[in-house]
Amino acid sequence: MAVTEKKYHVGLGPGDAGHYVLVPGDPGRTPMIAQYLDDAREVAFSREYRTFTGKLDGVPVSTMSTGMGGPSVAIGIEELSELGVHTLLRVGTCGAAQPEIKLGDLVIAVASVRSEGTPNGYIPLEYPAIASLDVVNALIESARAASVPFHVGVIRSVDALYSDLQPDTMPRPHAREELEMWKRAGILCNDMESSTLFVVSRLRKLRAGAINLCVDEIGAGEIHHLDPSYMDRMLKVAVDALRRLIARDGLVAKRQ
């Protein structure tokens, strides 16, 4: 079915978004990302979804915020998919689950534990939340080229942020023991969006990946406001990864 009007939640219509989209949670982050795009302009700001569209190497690229948590991410993916988007890259923040992950480090997710509820409305828990290998590899190459501290592995997505930050204040029993279990299992960090992004994107046959900036070291119990240069560093890595994907997609198209 052809899309002929603006989508109800994201406020975007045909031609408003590029096929490649950088998706932060914070609407205030999309203007920052737009600075890395050529001729970027704001095309919509509806609810938590703020979108700028410009170009990278001549290819239309957008950045759209998703707000916090799985429900708004899922809605955003669904509507972007209907508009023809095929590649999504989350640029977010996370809390470390391992002592070697420090403030300002980057974490590239290959998959995410589904400790939140939104994907359960799509498919049972047995279905894994896995990132696109193409996107993961592009992120790793970009992080290495930038010589920045980064980690690659399985992360965990949650609904209740403060249950992880301050488990001892929660009435739910064994909250701290649960965090310790995931630490022993080798989970790198916790966020709120990646597993929904991975599950819904894969079901809709889209590519998706995630890179997160650590803003909370293990056991700190609080989120830190980092120097803006750390966010800038992550965004440069993400944009470079998108450039690599665009270049490879172009080579594949030429061979066909």
**Which residues participate in catalysis according to the annotation?**
216
CA distance 98 to 189: 7
DSSP string, 91-135: EEEEEESSTT--TT-EEEEEEEEEESSGGGGTS-TTS-EE--HHH
- CA 65, 22, 182, 227 torsion: positive or negative? negative
Which residues are within 8 A (CB) of 171 and not within 5 positions of it... i.e. 6 or more apart? none
**Six token digits for residue 232:** 């800038």
Half-sphere exposure of 186 (CA within 13 A, CB side): 7
- 165-173: long-range contacts at Cβ-Cβ below 8 A with a sequence spacing of 24 or more? 165/95, 165/216, 165/221, 165/222, 165/223, 166/221
- Residue 23: name the closest of 75, 58, 59 by CA: 75
